[in-house]
Homo-oligomer: A and B are copies of this chain.
Amino acid sequence: MAGKLFGLGVGPGDPWLLTLKAKKILDEVDVIAYPVKEKGEKSTALHIIKEVIDLKGREIAEIIFRMDRSLEKREQCRREAADQLMRILDTGKNVAMITLGDTAIYSTYTYVHQMIKKAGYETEITAGISSFSGGAAMAEISLVEGNEGLGVVSSLKGRENLEKALDCFENLVLMKAGSSMELIREVLSERGLLDHAMVFSNIGLCDEYIGALDMERQYGYFTTIIVKRNGLF
């Protein structure tokens, strides 16, 4: 009989933000799997769980999700990752695949999950704390209140994308913002919103930064910005 696939979010960085359910599953499954872009790459998700899950003697599997600009090739890569997981499940072992933040929010895990579920395997997903919920708690601010709305966008596709989102909702979360920092600064400055933004960069890592949009800094891929038109506090 084939094993069961568990997909689970490990939260934004603090190992103590794992849910009780995620810990229970990780303590019990036969194999813990984690995604990497290239063989041998370090995994932030694996680094996060180490503090609260005893990995000694555990079977760990590296699942390769190659990134490619072409959608066709990305889909091929996802099929290969799903195949890799199904080969483990076919040996009868239960597998927990870990992913940063929440499984439902910009997670590559979604794609392999649907493929493996459609192939007839038993599956279960456990939600994790998203980077923006974790960031808001650290900064002791709210994301959305009362009659307001909240918009979440990732990897901005130009000025129009950002302006439309800012027009539509009082609160905005900009994920994977590292490569659009100049555009974001420009648009927020034009709207007088620079003091309404808080940056969360490399949370849980040694160069973690939480604070104002400071253009003197370097920002990595995992940079999230929260913008609140009605003020941060």
C-alpha gap A151/B149 in the complex (Å): 7
Decide yes or no: A110 and B154 within 8 Å by CB, A52-B20, A127-B134 being known contacts.
no
C-alpha gap A154/B148 in the complex (Å): 8
Q: B21–A104 contact, CB under 8 A?
A: no
C-alpha gap A157/B23 in the complex (Å): 40
Q: Distance (Å) between the CB of A171 and the closest chain B CB?
A: 9
Q: B125–A137 contact, CB under 8 A?
A: yes
Q: Within 8 Å CB of A123, what residues of B?
A: 140
A35 an interface residue at 8 Å Cβ cutoff? Answer: no
A178 an interface residue at 8 Å Cβ cutoff? Answer: no
A133 an interface residue at 8 Å Cβ cutoff? Answer: yes
Chain B residue at smallest Cβ distance from A134: B127
Q: Distance (Å) between the CB of A18 and the closest chain B CB?
A: 5
Q: Within 8 Å CB of A137, what residues of B?
A: 103-104, 125-127
* Interface segment out of the listed A85-93, A162-170, A185-193, A205-213: A162-170
Q: Within 8 Å CB of A113, what residues of B?
A: 140
Q: A106–B19 contact, CB under 8 A?
A: no
Which A residues from 138 to 166 make CB contacts under 8 A with B?
138, 140-147, 149-155, 157, 164-165
C-alpha gap A140/B104 in the complex (Å): 8
Q: A133–B18 contact, CB under 8 A?
A: no
Chain B residue at smallest Cβ distance from A131: B127
Q: B52–A142 contact, CB under 8 A?
A: no
CB contact between A150 and one of B111, B146, B152 (< 8 Å): that residue: B152
A60 an interface residue at 8 Å Cβ cutoff? Answer: no
Lowest 5 A-B CB distances belong to which pairs? Answer: A104-B136, A16-B21, A127-B137, A110-B142, A168-B168
